[in-house]
């Protein structure tokens, strides 16, 4: 926690009674001027804070955004080592990669409520308007790079489980899409570094569209609707992150089978006629989707009855 988080906690803890700048300063071992600078920064970040001579500071309202200061206190899983981020950043994946390269521990998360350079896979754009959840998690599994193939699916299962626990009915589209009402509500971007026999770090980036007061949802995309007063966007983000931690831990401890079973339950493609394309858009395989294998590859049953295992590619339904 940063000093700013500590100042915010002191304001939260004091409730309606408020707390004087001097008491906060003494409690944190900083000057009153430093407290007033942190209060000014919190106001710039959207916190409404009253200041009255005699009463000190009083927290009136918090921003309804999935930003670090709002999400961090709602995370329950001990997996989370450190919560970083800002209201807006270029790409949380870039920020998390920088932290990972500097040695940030597993369980470090960077979160923002808007991105100016959000990325999808293969350099595609991830639209990241205000109010969505944009998070990147540093992972350090003790394994070879070749064992990481199922991880995007594990993370997607975590996102789907989080949405399901909030009452939504998500589906999964191989390899990394989470759908609500047939539309993409979330995507997962995995980036990594290491030697063939040893993964040094992984950064799992997760973008989730959240529809709430003041948020924007990209056209044609799915969105989880967070009603203010019922479930706040910061809570949606915290539930999804905790659920990702649980899915990841299960993979580390027991392997892919639990996530694979869950993937099969939520599989939006099973039984559909598919075309798989490579990056140039050329069709490289067609057939009927028959689930995934124990390495997370898509199984495609051809008209001849043979089954092909697809490790990567873009999948579209054939009309
Ligand atoms: C993904 O790529 O689905 C991975 C998205 C990962 C985004 C997160 S946000 C936090 C972290 N920081 C980053 O910079 N990135 C990660 P892909 O499978 O390549 O899908 C990209 C495609 O999804 C685009 O080409 C669009 O067609 C579509 N798309 C873009 N933005 C979208 C959105 N907000 N909602 C739904 N679909 C979107």
Residue among 114, 120, 137 to mutate when testing ligand 1 (max atoms within 8 A of CB): 120
- pLDDT confidence of residue 318: 84
Question: Which of 187, 202, 315 maximizes ligand 1 atoms within 8 Å of its Cβ, making it the mutation to test the pocket?
Answer: 187
Cβ(313) – ligand 1 distance below 6 Å = no
User: Measured from the CB, is residue 262 less than 6 Å from ligand 1?
Assistant: no
Could you tell me the distance, in angstroms and rounded to a whole number, from the CA of residue 262 to the centre of ligand 1? 22
pLDDT of residue 54: 74
**Burial class of residue 237 (count of CB atoms within 10 Å of its CB; 0-12, 13-18, 19+):** buried
Task: Give the per-residue pLDDT at 226.
Answer: 81
Q: What are phi and psi of 270, to 5 degrees?
A: -50, 130
pLDDT at 53: 78
Token pair for 242? 């905790």
| Tokens standing for residue 262 | 């869950």
- pLDDT of 228: 58
Taking CA atoms only, the protein residue closest to ligand 1 atom 7 is 207
Residue 265 CA to residue 63 CA, distance in Å, equals: 36
The encoded tokens of residue 295 equal 């390495």
CB of 89 within 6 A of ligand 1: the answer is no
Tell me the C-alpha distance between 133 and 2, whole Å: 21
Cα separation, 249 vs 78, whole angstroms: 11
- pTM for this entry: 0.93
Can you state the angle between helices 257-266 and 233-254, rounded to 10 degrees? 130
- Cα–Cα distance for residue pair 204/135, rounded to 1 Å: 8
Residue 202: which of 246, 135, 134, 141 has the closest Cα? 141
Identify the pLDDT of residue 52.
84
Enumerate the β-bridge partners of residue 48: 61
Tokens representing 68 are 């670090």
| pLDDT score of 42 | 92
pLDDT tens for the chain, 319 residues: list them.
689 889 999 999 999 999 999 999 999 999 999 999 999 999 988 899 999 877 799 999 998 889 999 999 999 999 999 999 999 999 999 999 999 999 999 999 999 999 999 999 988 999 999 989 999 999 999 999 989 999 999 999 999 999 999 999 999 999 999 999 999 999 999 999 999 899 999 999 999 999 988 888 999 999 999 875 678 899 999 999 999 999 999 999 999 999 999 999 999 999 999 999 998 999 999 999 999 999 999 999 998 889 999 999 999 988 6
**What are the DSSP calls for 59-80, one per residue?**
EEE--SS--HHHHGGG---TT-
- Say if residues 194 and 201 touch (Cβ distance below 8 Å): yes
- Decide whether any atom of ligand 1 lies within 6 Å of the 243 Cβ: no
Nearest-CA residue for ligand 1 atom 3 is 187
């Amino acid at each position: 926690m940063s000093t700013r988080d500590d100042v915010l906690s002191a304001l939260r803890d004091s409730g309606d009674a408020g707390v004087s700048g001097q008491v906060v300063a003494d409690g944190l071992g900083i000057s009153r001027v430093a407290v007033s600078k942190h209060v000014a920064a919190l106001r710039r970040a959207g916190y409404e804070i009253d200041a009255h001579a005699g009463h000190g500071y009083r927290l009136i309202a918090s921003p309804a955004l999935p930003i670090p200061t709002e999400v961090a206190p709602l995370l329950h899983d001990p997996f989370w080592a450190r919560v970083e981020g800002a209201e807006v950043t270029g790409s949380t994946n870039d920020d998390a990669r920088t932290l990972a390269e500097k040695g940030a521990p597993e369980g470090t998360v960077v979160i923002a409520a808007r991105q100016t350079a959000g990325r999808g896979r293969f350099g595609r754009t991830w639209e990241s308007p205000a109010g969505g959840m944009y998070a990147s998690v540093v992972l350090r599994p003790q394994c070879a790079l070749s064992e990481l193939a199922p991880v995007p699916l594990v993370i997607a299962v975590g996102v789907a489980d989080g949405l399901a626990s909030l009452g939504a009915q998500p589906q999964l589209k191989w390899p990394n899409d989470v759908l609500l009402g047939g539309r993409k509500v979330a995507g997962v971007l995995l980036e990594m570094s290491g030697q063939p026999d040893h993964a040094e770090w992984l950064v799992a980036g997760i973008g989730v569209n959240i529809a709430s007061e003041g948020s924007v949802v990209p056209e044609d995309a799915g969105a989880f609707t967070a009603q203010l007063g019922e479930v706040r966007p910061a809570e949606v983000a915290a539930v999804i992150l905790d659920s990702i931690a649980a899915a990841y831990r299960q993979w580390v401890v027991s392997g892919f089978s639990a996530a694979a079973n869950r993937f099969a339950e939520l599989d939006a493609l099973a039984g559909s006629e598919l075309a798989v394309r490579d990056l140039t858009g050329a069709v490289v395989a067609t057939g009927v989707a028959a689930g995934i294998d124990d390495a997370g590859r898509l199984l495609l049953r051809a008209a001849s009855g043979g089954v092909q295992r697809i490790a990567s590619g873009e999948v579209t339904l054939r009309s």
